Amino acid sequence: MNLLNNLRVSFRSLTANTLRSILTILGIVIGVGAVVALLSIGKGATQSVTSQVENLGSNLITVSSRRNFQPGVVGGTSATLMYSDYTAILDNVGNIEAIAPVYTSGAQVTYQDKTSNYQISGINEDYFTVHSYSVARGRPLLASDNKSQSKVVVIGSQVATDMFSGLNPVGRSLTINNVKFEVVGVLESKGTLGFGGGDSAILVPLQTGYTFIFGSLSRNNGKQTLSSISLSAADANSVDSVISQVETVLRGEHGLGLNDTLSFSVSSQAQALSVLNQVSGTLTAFLGAVAAISLLVGGVGIMNISLVSVTERTREIGLRKAVGAQRRAILFQFLIETMTLAIIGGVFGVLLGVGIATIVSISGVITASITWDTIILAFASAALVGLFFGIYPAYQASKKSPIEALRYE
């Protein structure tokens, strides 16, 4: 029996029990749909977070305190990053395009009758270059603002929306911890880049912040401290060299030998992206594995229905064998039927998964990434499930004795 005749017989058999066939296909549809939707959403989430990390700045290097956990010390200890560390790096590290000291602290922000708590970051003029910030309205902070300790502030687009309700914030005053600051600029939207960053940023001159906002919390033994230092290497090839130089300077500033554990984390954007991709890849694989379970359940349903079909068509099998049908013809016939169920389920499953992913994207929660490799993987998985779970029922049908099969009631 040729392939065309096998397909014709398969469709006739499947349509003879339409409801049963639809319910069997439904398991594959749900499984394939889950694979496509979850993998697309996982890839979309990965691309979104990766894009946000890349938006932090070109060739970005971040210096921050590393917490060291010690036996008997609750919460561990960490060295304090000093303003003098910034000046030492500025004076002794080469191949730097820009460097920005940062001190961040929570504060109460008020405009007229609106009051909210925000993270306030004290910065210098290089911060905008290091983090690739652009100003949509007004101007950025300048070196002169730090030198004169001007009470000026640049805010993120979300802060502008929340506090000023559509008004142009430039030229208006915000009160930060009971001190009035003039809004001189609003940042272009970059999304939420972390706690207190991105569109929720409130940026003041660092020296102004030390004097009017941060107070004694920003000092250690009378010396000014920092939350972090951000650097932008001159080019991608200089990143590793800059990191090595920064570590050397910090060891010298804090009296640490080459064999001592560095109390500070010096990490690049590339390193952060590498870790992020590993984590997101694991998460996406996990989501795919969860979805694959649904596909396997659909495969079990195909096997179950196929075994029932073999039992119901025992006399048909006996008759075909009696007139000369070979075992492989019977085997091939039942395999085609299971494969047909799986392929039809795969087609509708792909449509379902694409539909779910599209709805998620339209909702604005996550922009799902629907790619051909995801669709092909899900469809191929459905076909393999149909083949795998169809082999045993087809084998059972092919080995039946024609005499016993004809006697079956």
Q: Where are the domains positioned within the chain?
A: 3-52+275-407, 81-236
- Tell me the range of 33-42, 88-97, 390-399 where mean pLDDT is highest: 88-97
Summarize pLDDT for 256-267 with one digit per residue, the tens.
888 888 888 888
Do the beta carbons of residue 45 and residue 187 sit within 8 Å? no
* pLDDT band for position 66 (cuts 50, 70, 90): low
This prediction's pTM: 0.63
Q: Which DSSP state fits 94?
A: -
Task: Please tell me the distance from the alpha carbon of residue 234 to that of residue 59, in angstroms, as a whole number.
Answer: 8
Query: Cα–Cα distances in Å, from 133 out to 186, 350, 385?
Result: 10, 40, 50
* pLDDT band for position 74 (cuts 50, 70, 90): very low
Task: Please tell me the distance from the alpha carbon of residue 147 to that of residue 205, in angstroms, as a whole number.
Answer: 9
Do the beta carbons of residue 253 and residue 264 sit within 8 Å? no
Average pLDDT for 131-160: 93
- State the pLDDT at residue 321: 67
Find tokens 């499930």 and name the residue.
385
- State the pLDDT at residue 72: 41
The token pair at 363 is 């909702």
Task: Please tell me the distance from the alpha carbon of residue 40 to that of residue 30, in angstroms, as a whole number.
Answer: 15
DSSP assignment string, 288-303: HHHHHHHHHHHHHHHH
The token pair at 114 is 């609106």
Range with lowest mean pLDDT among 82-86, 189-193, 282-286:
189-193
- State the pLDDT at residue 71: 41
For 109, half-sphere exposure in the C-beta direction (CA atoms, 13 angstrom radius) is 25
Range with lowest mean pLDDT among 264-273, 294-303, 356-365:
264-273
Task: Please tell me the distance from the alpha carbon of residue 345 to that of residue 375, in angstroms, as a whole number.
Answer: 13
Summarize pLDDT for 279-304 with one digit per residue, the tens.
777 877 787 787 778 788 888 888 88
Task: Please tell me the distance from the alpha carbon of residue 135 to that of residue 140, in angstroms, as a whole number.
Answer: 6
